[in-house]
Amino acid sequence: VILLCFRRYLLTVLTSYLFWNTFGLGAATDSKPNILLFLADDLGIGDIGCYGNNTIRTPNIDRLAREGVKLTQHVAAAPLCTPSRAAFLTGRYPIRSGMASSNGYRALQWNAGSGGLPPNETTFAKLLKQQGYTTGLIGKWHQGVNCESFNDHCHHPLNHGFDYFYGMPFTLLNNCQENKPPELDVALQAKLWLYSQIIALAVLTLTVGKLTGLISVRWKIIACFALADGLFFISWYSSYGFVQYWNCILMRNHDITEQPMRLERTASLMLKEAVSFIKRNRQGPFLLFVSFLHVHTPLFTTKKFLGKSRHGLYGDNVEEMDWMVGKILDSLDKEGLKNHTFTYFASDHGGHLEAQDGSAQLGGWNGIYKGGKGMGGWEGGIRVPGVLRWPGVLPAETVIDEPTSLMDIYPTLVHLAGGVLPQDRVIDGRNLVPLLQGRAQKSEHEFLFHYCGSYLHAVRWHQKDSGAIWKAHYVTHVFHPPGAGACYGKGICPCFGEGVTHHDPPLLFDLSRDPSEAKPLSADTEPLFDTVIKKIGRATEEHRRTLTPVPEQLSLYNIMWKPWLQPCCGTFPFCWCDKEGDSTQSL
């Protein structure tokens, strides 16, 4: 009996050892957990309770933090939606996939553009699908739709490893809501309208001159000017005049269900779809990526939450999103899946400081950190909340003050699923499991590179032996007005040209002592200044040697509206439908 018990003990120990080394998790856990990812849109790190906000109520996100791990130095790979989400999905800096722009358009502008996440990129959804996961995306995509025809769907979620998609192929805009000022390319629209008016005025002047005999001009010339003006007006108004129809649509898989979408029921539809996906796939394993439309402008909020927060419409929208998080977590509990699910919550980048309506702030708060959305170097543009929970596997009420990246989720998920990372490309993310479980005390990241479009603005060095977090800024934004901390009146700060300042030597900060980046160091105030600058410079050169030329997905040609690529639920240009009907029920 003793010998039998000893043999069983040895077998248990050996099994535990093999499991630990295979998955790095522990013998009592699932080998393939369900995975639930929440990604907010434009949420500032200072907007939620567990990161210090005591005036906006986020009890459900705060509960995730209490029951799991909170990352305090979690950073996005880009300060804008399209490139940041590309990095999140692929574990790679956006410049490696062509999702970083060298022009002023740093995110996709149209559903009918030809740019997007290249089909040869391997998302975590593709790899998890190979490991037997059922994969779903609910919400915002903003990684493109078509390449050459209106239904080739080369950039579509279903072509990137997702089995199921319900949501917006684009992103929310003010244009999606009636009676809101337009948001898409406002400055260009104003110029085009001005040019149209100038040409029309010229035609009117010529016509009056001809009729009064003051100008000797042939009617054929006047007709040509009038035709040119008409064609010019139609050429730009056919796109910008119907943004709500072209961009504000909902899709289920490859089919359009609403064109244009009805915002008053969108949140309910998204929530219903997320809960339904969990219920359908409760036998697991599943990957559900809930990509919120909240809290991007126009901040459409249902009546239940309007006027309930202490921070106006923006606060209302944040609290509605938190409620949705709670409902989805409740569905996990209802299905008995809480302890079998790895859950993650983050934002795609910092809050949008320039989003204002008069004195009302419509963008997020980035806490003590300088800058915001669109700013590639400053912490406020890239430092985001990062909360992870897996009861029984990840320790509760844990805070990790080590540099981590949204790109780290890619190798972390692949590891949890028992998959293998692609060997034919550079993966910039690092597996977080050892750090999350406390088996590693330091982040695997030594350097992180902070881009604004395709322009390198700053580099972070994690000096592990001293604990210092050095950050060198090669380029910074010119704030408007000076000292304002943002580019008010410009939408977002530009990445190049007259809107930036180049620094040689670079501005240097130690984030471990100065997280607000308030006091740049110099050779006079920091003995290690020259050493640190040289070290970061060498790392930057090595990083650039790993980059290979790829087609730019956000080139001017790729981001322009092309009518032949326009998703349409009717016969173009008569694109409108409502297939949802009364399918929404109060949840």
Q: What is the DSSP string of 219-238?
A: HHHHHHHHHHHHHHHHHHHH
Dist. CA 77–CA 428, nearest whole Å:
10
Give me the catalytic one of 5, 50, 74, 81.
Answer: 81
Give me the catalytic one of 74, 142, 445, 477.
Answer: 142
Does residue 378 contact residue 341 with C-beta atoms inside 8 Å? no
| Non-local CB neighbours of 478 within 8 Å, separated by 6+ positions | 487, 493, 498, 499, 500, 501
Q: Which of 160, 115, 120 is nearest to 553 (CA)?
A: 115
What 3-state class would DSSP assign to 522? coil
| Non-local CB neighbours of 267 within 8 Å, separated by 6+ positions | 293, 294, 302, 320, 324
Measure Cα distances from 275 to 15, 200, 331, 391, 463 in Å.
Answer: 36, 54, 6, 20, 43
What 3-state class would DSSP assign to 2? helix
| Non-local CB neighbours of 555 within 8 Å, separated by 6+ positions | 101, 103, 115
Does residue 372 contact residue 432 with C-beta atoms inside 8 Å? no
Dist. CA 527–CA 150, nearest whole Å:
60
- H/E/C letters for each residue in 168-179? ECCCCCHHHCCC
Dist. CA 266–CA 577, nearest whole Å:
15
Dist. CA 263–CA 299, nearest whole Å:
10
* Whether 502 is catalytic: no
What 3-state class would DSSP assign to 271? helix
In this structure, what DSSP letter does residue 395 have?
A: P
H-only helix segments in 257-408: 266-280, 312-334, 379-382
Dist. CA 70–CA 395, nearest whole Å:
10
Torsion of CA 572, 298, 182, 347, to 10 degrees: -90
* Whether 142 is catalytic: yes
In this structure, what DSSP letter does residue 564 have?
A: G
What are the residue numbers of the active site?
Answer: 81, 142
